[in-house]
Amino acid sequence: MYQFYGQLGSPAAKRPRYLSRLMQKRAKRLARWYAYIKRNKPLGQALSVLFGALELAIMEIVRLITKFIPSTHARFMRFLDGKWGSKIVPLNVKIDDVGTAVLPSQQILEIARRTPIRSLNWCYCYRTFGKKDPAQPDRYSCLALGWGQNVQAIDAMAKQDPNKKISKNLTYDELERKLIEWNDQGYVHQLIYFPSPDYFYIICACHPDFCLTLANTRKWGFPAVVKSDFIAAWDASKCKQCKTCLQRCHFNAMQEVAGMVALEPRNCVGCGLCTTKCPSGALTLKKRA
9, amino acid identity: G
The model's pTM: 0.90
DSSP 108-136: HHHHHHHS-EEEEEE-HHHHHHS--BTTB
Which CA distances in Å does 60 have to 54, 76, 158? 10, 12, 36
Amino acid (one-letter) located at 253: A
What are the 10-residue block averages of pLDDT along the chain, 289 residues in total?
63 52 80 94 95 94 94 88 93 66 87 93 90 74 91 92 88 92 94 96 92 84 88 92 94 92 92 93 89
| Inter-residue contact 86 to 216 (CB < 8 Å) | no
The conformational region for residue 99 under phi > 0 = left, psi -120 to 50 = alpha, else beta, is left
The three-state secondary structure class of 85 is: strand
Beta strands in 242-282, from DSSP E residues, in sequence order: 254-257, 260-263
- 228-289 has which fold? Alpha-Beta Plaits (3.30.70)
Q: Domain limits of the chain? A: 4-226, 228-289
H helices of 100-258, in order, are 108-114, 124-129, 172-184, 212-220, 244-248
- The pLDDT of residue 43 is 96
CB 9 within 8 A of CB 223: yes
| Residue 284, H or E segment | strand 283-287
> Residue 3: its pLDDT value, please?
84
Which residues lie below 8 Å from residue 206, measured CB to CB, with a gap of 6+?
Answer: 123, 125, 126, 141, 187, 188, 190, 213, 214
CA neighbor of 132 nearest in space, from 210, 189, 55, 56: 210
What does the angle CA 80 – CA 82 – CA 84 come to, to the nearest 5 degrees?
55
Contact 195, 47 (CB under 8 A): yes
User: What is the C-alpha separation between 279 and 203, in angstroms, rounded?
Assistant: 28
**Cα distances (Å, whole numbers) of residue 76 to 21, 68, 142, 253:** 22, 15, 23, 28
User: One-letter amino acid identity for 172?
Assistant: Y
Query: What is the β-pairing status of strands 4-5 and 225-226?
Result: antiparallel
pLDDT score for 238:
93
Element (H, E) at 226: strand 225-226
